[in-house]
Amino acid sequence: MGVLDGLKPAGVFHFFEEISRIPHGSGNEKQISDYLKKFAGERGLECIQDALNNIIIIKEATPGYEQEAPYILQGHMDMVTVKKPDCDIDMTKDPLRLCVREITATNIGARHSLLGLLRSDAPPVELLPTVPMGRQKGQKVHYTQAR
């Protein structure tokens, strides 16, 4: 049983808890990038992963939404890893230890609910989770591969 089981919306918190188990601080995005690629593949979604671990996930429109303009959502897949000096978590390899104290509006809706959007009835959706721009090393995400 997960720490966040029973919280609503269940799909958002399910993915939040899954992603929280994967170390993904800045400079350590390979595991989260591979997770996103696997997530897409398991759902039959088109997915492109480049050499820098940027991802493009494409979900076709569900029936009835084919004529709608696509949603294109971009965001960083890394997490800022700040902790108190006495915290013994190694942010490069350990999962986060989640607990429920109080539910407030956070970036949970921005980052983790994007995966929930891929599960819903919607126009075409293209997700572009990227590594931080400063680490692109002069390379750019080939958005031309997105539609």
CA angle 90, 91, 94 (to 5 degrees): 65
Taken in order of first residue, the domains within the chain and their CATH numbers are 10-145 (3.40.630.10)
86-133 pLDDT tens trace: 999 999 999 989 888 765 555 444 444 555 566 677 788 888 888 876
2-22 pLDDT tens trace: 888 887 777 778 888 999 999
Cα–Cα distance list, 111 to 5, 68, 103 (Å): 19, 23, 16
DSSP H or E segment with residue 42: helix 30-42
